[in-house]
Every structure is written in structure tokens, then in C-alpha cells.
Amino acid sequence: MKRFLLPAFCAVMLLTGCGGMKLTKTMMKVILKGSMKIPENTVAQDYDGKIDVPYVDKASPSQMLDIFYAPDDVRKDAVLVDFHGGFYVAGQKEGNRAFASAFLKEGFDVVLVSYRLNEGKLDVSDELADCAAAADYVTLHAEELGLNKDHMFVTGDSAGGHLALYIAEGAQDHSLPVHPEHFMPLGAMLNCPAYDFAAYSDAEMYAESFKEWFLGPKYKDKEWMKSMSPRTHLGSYNGPLFVSTCTNDFIRGESMKIKADCEAVGRSLTFVDIESEDKKVSHVHNVTSIDLPESQQVNAAMVDFMISCLK
């Protein structure tokens, strides 16, 4: 399954970084066009589930979640809550259904969350508010949904990694500007995550109009950007943490920052860094191409991580 046009994206990143060209909204729209198509066989559809469950009152089509249940014979009575990526302006929960199947077959129930996208009108605080509301919804309605609220994990890829870590931080520290009130994950797992959000507004490789489009209208407010950055609040989360990246991850540096920050304060981290020159093994490969051996390696490590947290 190809959800991102990764070769094109990486080419643009190289151009902007090495040739002085600034990344614009028009360029990114060309890259994203057609790259979020949902394959006909989404794999997870073979499992029992509930589709398009609204998690807020008067929900928009973007404020929905899907719940898939693991088969009874392997079910571990634990839940993986997933926030998709898409550069804050694209993506939807359906794009992560194949990824969900990798955990359903291992016995984990999976909740896939869609949230409102930026597009220059909203911003990451709105996306975080949706994610917090979704996490609280599955917690408060766990019994009627057939989920175990005490055995929940959170995961996200790319921009979704930012959302997942921030939600995990806010679950433990309600002083964060956006936080869930009831959700408490046993662990957080980030795949090729965005992390140092506060630095994005200063990135010279992005045109100003592009920054406003994908960061939102408050991107020039340095203190606000810092308050929305998972890096700012890493110390707020002291639960188990898993991070994966790879050689061809164009934002590998973000994962390395997490690793360095954890090492600096002596906190434990399960870190998976896949070394491969295969261009298919690139940004969020374990989400978009689950059949690659390297993707299976990452997802198996995620399963092991969750099992260790359940013991």
C-alpha cells in the first residue's frame, strides 16, 4: 500500500535543503495529490468492528473513529489507539487499516482516529483537541464498546507521532494546553515522528504561505508554537516510550532528537533504527508498506513492547 509519494517528497526536501528552493503549498499539494488513496483491500475490513463512530457531539466527517476487534482466540484484551500522519493537512483513518491488521492478528483491538486537518484555518491545537476527545471517548465508553480502558496504548506516524506523544504527555500532566481528561495509556509508540514542532516556524526551507497552511495561523507566535511542541513537554511523560525510524526517513533527525533528549535525562527508550538503502524502506514504511521485512521487524518490536507493558 502506498499512501505517500515518498520519492517525490524526499526529492523536494533535498531540493529545498540543498538548492535554496523553498517548499510551497502548491508544491506540497502536488506531492500529496493522489498519495492518500485508500486501497480497495484495506485488510482490517476482515475483522469485526464499528465504523465511523462519532466521538464528539455534532461531529464533522473528520471527527470519527473506527474500532476493530481482534479474534477471540488470540485477543489480549488490550487496545491500540492510532493517530494517522499526513503533514497536518492530509490523511485519514482509513489509510491506516492495513497497519491496524498487523496488530489485530496479534490479539490487539485497534482504534483508528480521524481528526480535523489544518489547511491554514485550524491548527495543531484543534487536531490535538480532537485526538484528546477521541481518546477520552473510547475510555469513557470502553465498556459499551467492548474495550479495556485500563490496557490502552497510543501510537502515531509522522505528524501523528507528534499528536500521540503530546496526548501521552497531557494524559499525565493536565497543565498542558491540550490534554485528555480520562485517557491514560500504558505506553506510547511513535513511528518516524514529528517532534520539535517549535522549530518548524523558523525553518528557512518553508515559504511563509506554506508555514501558515500546515502549521496554522498562529505559527509566528513563538511561545504558542513551543507550547504545542512535544519536545517542550517530554518530561511530563514518564511512561514506556517506543520510537522507530530508518536510514531513509527524511525526518530521521526528529527521532534522533528524542533519543538524545531521553539519554540526557537518563530515561529509558525502546529505539528501533532500521539501516537499509532500500528506497522502499523509508518514512513510516511500517505503516504504508506492512509486508516489507523491515516493516514486519518494526511492527513485531511494537507488539513485543506492548506485551512487555502488560506484564
Higher pLDDT, residue 1 or 248: 248
In degrees, rounded to 5, the angle at the alpha carbon of residue 108 between the alpha carbons of residues 301 and 251 is 45
How many C-beta atoms lie closer than 10 Å to residue 100's C-beta? 27
CA distance 287 to 6: 13
* Amino acid letter for position 152: M
User: 109 in helix, strand or coil?
Assistant: strand
Residue with more model confidence, 284 or 6: 284
In this prediction, residue 24 carries a pLDDT of 61
Q: What pLDDT is stored for residue 205 in this prediction?
A: 75
Cα separation of 294 and 286, whole Å?
7
CATH code: domain 6-310 is: 3.40.50.1820
pTM: predicted TM-score of the whole model, two decimal places? 0.91
Do 22 and 15 meet the contact criterion of CB atoms below 8 Å apart?
no
Decide: 190 and 156 in contact? Cβ < 8 Å. Answer: yes
Q: Rounded CA gap, 99 and 295, in Å? A: 10
Q: What is the pLDDT of residues 115-143, one digit of tens each?
A: 999 877 899 999 999 999 999 999 999 99
Flag whether pLDDT at 5 surpasses 70.
no
> Mean pLDDT for the chain?
89
At a CB cut-off of 8 Å and minimum separation 6, what does 236 contact? 169, 170, 172, 173, 176
Quickly count: other Cβ atoms within 10 Å of residue 17's Cβ. 14
**Three-class SS of residue 52?**
strand
At 292, list the grid cell.
516489507
Q: CA–CA separation, 132 vs 91, rounded Å?
A: 18
For residue range 269-282, what is the model confidence (pLDDT) as tens digits? 999 999 999 999 99
CB atoms within 10 A of CB 235: 11
